[in-house]
Structure 1
Amino acid sequence: MAEATAKALFDAAEAARAAVDADAKMALTEQAAALWRAASELEDGPLRAEALADPGAPAKPELVDPRRVAKRNPGSGSGRAAHLHALTHIEFVATNLAWDAVVRFRGMPLAYYQQWAQVALEEAEHFTALRARLRDAGADYGDFAAHNGLWDMAARTADDPLARMMMVPRYLEARALEAAPIMQAKFRQAGDEASAALIARIAKEEIGHVAAGSRWFGHLCQSRGQDRREAFVTLLDGFARGRPKGPFELDIRRQAGFTEWELAWLEQGG
């Protein structure tokens, strides 16, 4: 079988990104990830993607202000379902985010696209697993309102892959890693060991996703001749309005590719 052309690879990624139906998006993600995994070279193509619409998403869940999202206490039946729904929604958006990193930013090495295609596949697997737990709780994806904070940051960083790598994986997703043990404890206290174990497994895999952001953040700094420390501080100041608040899980962040200088800088304001 002939290897897919660059156009076919990017078209497959965009098809997954644009799919509206959740099941279709996950199926197309599996297909596109397989194509990218099999690629051995990426011939020259357009350095800039055409104007992109927002990624595809179903009509439900309704997207609302974060303050209007249902309370998520796993100690009650409805609260547990609401919490699982919020996690499921995050993984749906994360699937779109990974494909957006592929489709939007051209002129990167093949390894960049292959890594983010693999991230998309893993995010889709997380979505499917969490949706199964949500259904076990008597609900389904779309039954609760959700917010779009994760995608809002993607929209703000749409013009620069360096900003995207810093602010989505290395800022928002890194904070989610630090919240995972707290979520696990809440589900265990509610007697839901299966959900706690699933969150633990997902969190372990998400370390690799943040590490992907760290890898390509470093690559872009080096290729642009930009000081990594300066880029780290400048982007946080510009997009997060200053130094994030601690406490920080330093060992997890080390595994995710944070440098000792970055960790020390974060700790100074924690």
Structure 2
Amino acid sequence: MASLFDAAKACLDAATPEDKLARTAQAAADFADGKFATLEDEREPDPIRMPGRPERPRLVPPRDLPRRGFGSDEGRAAFIHAVAHIEFNAIDLAWDAVYRFRTFPAAYYADWIGVAADEARHFAMLRARLREFGHDYGDFDAHNGLWEMAEKTAHDALARMALVPRVLEARGLDVTPGMIVKLRSLGDDATADILEVILREEVGHVAAGSRWFRWCCELHGREPRATFAHLLAQYARPVLYGPFNLEARAEAGFDPEELAALLALDAEARERKP
């Protein structure tokens, strides 16, 4: 029987969207069918590196990405491409969470394999919509910010669970509702409908991060709120700002004290601005 961790690595290494989606679907199906011999592996995972990626899109610093409005078809295509790129990265983030951390209960692997399958489906929906605009994935430049956070947290599952789902992915909970409203105002219900699906399912993904972050804290005798605040200050202050979707974040496992702390951090950052 196959190894789950070998399957996860094959998904990470897949370089084309077609191969990554196919391998993700197969690995998720194999896991559901109980085809993996064991969920334990004494081998050390490989050092973290860039996962398999197509030659395009070209990766550039975020500041080098042009700002485009939604008003034109080209601007909307660029927006859809940006979200598709996030979802493509999220497939790798989920598989790396499976591959890299090998001492978790079966429910942990079930969660992140399910997330990988969801992200692959999101990417496929967005790519199909992008093609309706006469473009494809790779036609616009993109940045590598999501994977850079994976690299920073490769040494520590607790930090990974705190910072990738509960910070970077949770930003989608904050900003997506406004994007949906804007797209519907422009008559682009097709794209808005896709974002509605993504928003609904991303709540569950962030909730998985909350669940396993707290599991890690309990395992290591750490107080979750203080630990999360420390990690935010260490890694994520520049990317954490309001307004926050408090209702969605609460549904995704943020408790009232954490939400109050986020609001306080945002207020402090606004006061420092000239």
Q: Is the 8 A contact 2:65 2:142 kept in 1?
A: yes
**For 1:212, which of 208, 228, 231 is the aligned residue?**
208
Distance 2:47 2:13 in 1: 13
Pairing of 1:97-116 with structure 2 (within 5 A): 97-116=93-112
Q: Is the 8 A contact 1:63 1:145 kept in 2?
A: yes
Distance 2:250 2:43 in 1: 33
Distance 1:131 1:18 in 2: 20
- 1:80 equivalenced with 2:76 (yes/no): yes
**For 2:185, which of 179, 182, 189 is the aligned residue?**
189
Task: Identify the residue that residue 270 of structure 2 maps to in structure 1.
Answer: none
**For 2:115, which of 116, 119, 139 is the aligned residue?**
119
SS in 1 for 2:237: coil
Structure 1 residue runs without a partner (length 5+): none
Distance 2:46 2:118 in 1: 26
Task: Identify the residue that residue 18 of structure 1 maps to in structure 2.
Answer: 13
Q: Is the 8 A contact 2:49 2:151 kept in 1?
A: no
Residues 223 and 195 of structure 1, relative CA distance in 2, 3 Å threshold: same
Task: Identify the residue that residue 46 of structure 2 maps to in structure 1.
Answer: 50
Residues 189 and 260 of structure 1, relative CA distance in 2, 3 Å threshold: same
Q: Give the CA deviation at 1:71.
A: 2.7
Give, as a single letter, the amino acid of the residue that structure 1 aligns with 2:171.
R
Deviations 1:96-118 (Å, cap 9, x if unpaired)?
A: 11001100111111111111011
Question: Percent sequence identity over matched residues?
Answer: 50
Deviations 1:123-174 (Å, cap 9, x if unpaired)?
A: 0000000000000011000000001111111111111111111111000111
Give, as a single letter, the amino acid of the residue that structure 2 aligns with 1:34.
A
Question: Scaled by the length of structure 2, what TM-score is found?
Answer: 0.92
**Moved runs in structure 1, 4+ residues, more than 6 A?**
none
Structure 2 residue runs without a partner (length 5+): 267-274
Give, as a single letter, the amino acid of the residue that structure 2 aligns with 1:248.
F
Task: Identify the residue that residue 253 of structure 2 maps to in structure 1.
Answer: 257
Task: Identify the residue that residue 66 of structure 1 maps to in structure 2.
Answer: 62
Alignment: residue pair count: 265
Distance 1:115 1:169 in 2: 12
